[in-house]
Structure 1
Amino acid sequence: MVTNPGRRRRATIHDVALEAGVSRGTVSRVINDEPYVSAEARIAIEAAIERVGYVPNTAARNLVMQRSQAVGFIVHEPHSLFLEDPNIGEILLGANAALSLADFQMVCLIIDSERDTDRVARYLSGGFVDGVIVVSARKNDPITRIIEKLGLPSAFVGHPPDLRRLPFVGIDNRSSAFAITERLLATGRRRVGMIASALDRDSGADRLAGFTDALGPLFDPALVARVPFYAYADGVKGMRALLAAEPELDGVFAASDAVAAGALEALREAGRSVPGDVGVVGFDDSAWALRCQPLLSTVHQPAAGLGERAAESVLAQLRGEEPELGGILLTTPIVWRDSA
């Protein structure tokens, strides 16, 4: 038989046992941190592991345990927005930190098309992950139904209306939008519009509802520019539409900081000063808020905390614990800066 001379043979439990002069069963108990091993044997085995260069075969162990030791991180956004939106990155990093502490791997799965949906559905059905964290799920999302059908431990960041009893972590978007709009109105603005994004998911729809609640009789549906994504380019487009609809506009609530940054660019184009002519507020308190000139008044969304709590929820379910009824809601204080 011809062997590959360039590839070193992987050390096994058998090699460790021979080196330490003990049985394979004793080595297995040390590797799995089980009791009933003498201190002398444990020291000898640990030294033998170091000498022979043994690394546990986690793939084989996971096969026996029927665990992958991995959690999927599913994002329903265009690829470009995945890179542009700092909130998604913060959610991902928060989730990864919690998973890393528990020695779990994160598998990123981006859904940008129907083909992606089919591919991810097959992947989940194949048992390649033990649980999932889902960001930006829409109503009537087939991935949500697959997760429900498989009974996968899961946590959604956000709360789509058809989520039923699946666990979620989120914020009160409606109340937060109400609070920031009310604060904007308190500066004396009376012709206030909104660039409403992502109305096909709970966060966007709830932010529009909170804006509408706060304006009450001042609400004018003609002063709502509807755009598809929480993106800078959509902010530019939406702001241009609002200025065309109402040249005397004096206040704007943008559904995200990225959208607000785009709105500021369109206002500069139009020769409108901020906050002198138009007060602008956003939502997220992301890196976009501090890139803006003037600095952006906004709602602080604890994105890293959302990811961390979602991961902790999935890990708790994997330990056999029941998820919290009614979901987990984090607080969202207003951060008031110069743009309004």
Structure 2
Amino acid sequence: MSSSTRRRSTVHDVARVAGVSRGTVSRVLNGGYVSDSSRTAIEEAIREVGYVPNTAARNLVRQRTQAIAFIVHEPHALFLEDPNIGAIMLGTNETLSEADYQMVCLVVDSDRDTERVARYLNGGFVDGAVIVSARAQDPITKAVMRLDLPVAYVGHPPDVDAAWVGVDNHGAARAITSRLHETGRRRIGMIAAALDRDSGADRLAGFTEALGADFDPALVEPVPLYSYADGAAAMTRLLERAPDIDGVFAASDAVAAGAIWALREAGRRVPEDVGIVGFDNSTWALRTTPLLSTVDQPAEGLGAAAAASVLAQLRDDEPAARTGIMLDTPVVWRDSA
């Protein structure tokens, strides 16, 4: 018989060769308990007959898809530009892959995307979701809550009782702003990105707290996205409004890189005239001249921990799944300040 028409090996074949019942083979395939001798015999039989589990059929019986959604609420262009999103995605995928789960990437860039993704989730095509950059009153969050889908957020969205993984954005922003202040800067501004989500709002709060009496609200320039273009435009506006500015906390490394470009275009030296710091310790921090002082946000670790939380929920490990997890964010001091 040719290889193209060769009969597919079945559980019955494995049971016959191993000398055990079909039920014993099924328990091994589904992670159940059997004796060590039976397990060894079954594993050897699987190799001998070339058995490949029918994952689709098993999942149908278990009502599982073996797929987890990775949902990002950012414009498509920023999804490609922001190395943090890529690192979070890699961390998520590695953890899911080790557990034999497939990651399904979904980017929400418009109201139409929101409706499409909500319909997709409602269709039962995934077992759970990791959600990045969720906003307050987010329609996707509402859909996930309505479906009671196992979920973990990267960041801590407001008014949501769900598992989350994040960093102390407030404390880290306070720490790096204080370090910048200690260099002798007195007219310190902030390019405050993404104030509609917890990370952006918390970084602004930490910046404000660090400066205390030296905080000047006129030196805060809000922008919608953690993007290079927003950083460049905001820095230009800050220079027009406050030409004596001598320090800047940019809410992300990409924002800081854009700000450094704008400062150079305006004839300002970094750090001699203006000290600048960022947040993330992403690849952007190593592309700038001078190299960027920043906060080290463990992006891959965030993704890995979020994926592990979703998997814990699928195992009904509720105490572990519902715990908010905070990862460390040390300051990395380089030449930009």
Q: If the length of structure 2 is used for normalisation, what is the TM-score?
A: 0.91
* The 10-residue stretch of structure 1 (97-106 or 68-77) with the greater mean CA deviation from structure 2: 97-106
| Counterpart pick for 1:97 among 81, 94, 117 | 94
Contact kept? 1:16, 1:49, Cα under 8 Å: yes
Amino acid at match of 1:247: P
- 1:234 counterpart residue number: 230
Map of 1:271 onto structure 2: 267
Contact 2:176 2:277 in 1 (8 A): yes
Deviations 1:78-106 (A, max 9, x none): 11111111111111111222222222221
| d(CA) in 2 for partners of 1:111, 1:129 | 16
Aligned to 2:62, which of 57, 65, 74?
65
What secondary structure is seen at the aligned counterpart in 2 of 1:195? strand
1:254 aligns with 2:278: no
| 1:166-209 residue CA offsets vs partner (Å, 9 max, x unmatched) | 11111121121111111111111111111111111111111112
The 3 A distance-change label for structure 1 pair 232 and 52 is same
Structure-2 separation of matches of 1:333 and 1:117: 35
Q: Which residue of 2 aligns with 1:312?
A: 308
Q: Quote the Cα distance in structure 2 between the aligned partners of 1:23 and 1:166.
A: 43
Match of 2:178?
182
Superposition RMSD in Å: 2.4
Among 119, 144, 151, the alignment partner of 2:141 is 144
- 2:85 is matched with 88
Aligned residues: 334
1:106 counterpart SS class: strand
Cα gap change, 1:53 to 1:294, in 2 (>3 Å) = same
1:119 paired with 2:116, answer yes
Quote the Cα distance in structure 1 between the aligned partners of 2:172 and 2:212.
Answer: 16
309, 333, 336: which is aligned to 1:336?
333
- Alpha-carbon spacing, 1:47–1:178, altered in 2? closer, same or farther (3 Å): closer
Question: Equivalents in 2 of 1:41, 1:207: separation in Å?
Answer: 53
Match of 2:299 in 1: 303
Where does structure 2 lack aligned partners over 5 or more consecutive residues? none
Q: Any idea what SS the aligned residue of 2:318 has?
A: coil
Paired residues of 2:28 and 2:34 also in contact (CA < 8 A): no
Q: Report the 3-state secondary structure (helix = DSSP H, G, I; strand = E; otherwise coil) of the residue aligned with 2:173.
A: helix
Does the 8 A contact of 2:223 with 2:234 survive in 1?
yes
Q: CA deviation at 1:8?
A: 6.8
1:330–1:19 CA distance, 2 compared to 1 (3 A): closer
Q: Distance in 1 between matches of 2:307 and 2:28?
A: 29
1:57 and 1:279 map into 2 onto residues whose CA distance is 59
For each residue in 1:52-88, what CA deviation from the matched residue of structure 2 results, as whole angstroms up to 9, or x when unmatched? 5431111110111111122111110111111111111
- Using a 3 Å threshold, how does the CA distance of structure 1 residues 263 and 33 change in structure 2: closer, same or farther? closer
The alpha-carbon deviation at position 150 of structure 1 amounts to 1.4
Provide the secondary structure at the position in 1 that maps to 2:212: helix
Instruction: Give the conservation status (yes or no) of the 8 Å contact 2:20–2:38.
Output: no
1:255 deviates by 0.4
Q: CA deviation at 1:23?
A: 6.0
Whichever residue aligns with residue 304 of structure 2, its letter is: E
Question: In 2 relative to 1, CA 213–35 (structure 1 residues): closer, same or farther, beyond 3 Å?
Answer: closer
Gap change, CA 1:230 and 1:11, over 3 Å in 2: same
Q: 1:323 to 1:189 in 2, by over 3 A?
A: same
2:132 is aligned to 135
Aligned to 1:327: 324
Matched-pair contact (CA < 8 Å) for 1:167–1:323: no
SS in 1 for 2:305: helix
| Alpha-carbon distance, 1:328 to partner | 1.4
Amino acid at match of 1:290: L
CA apart distance, 1:36: 5.7
Aligned-pair CA distance for 1:294:
0.5
Separation in 2, partners of 1:302, 1:90: 9
Tell me which residue corresponds to 2:276: 280
Q: Give me the whole-angstrom Cα distance separating, in 2, the residues matched to 1:331 and 1:213.
A: 20
CA distance in structure 2 between the partners assigned to 1:172 and 1:37 by the alignment: 47
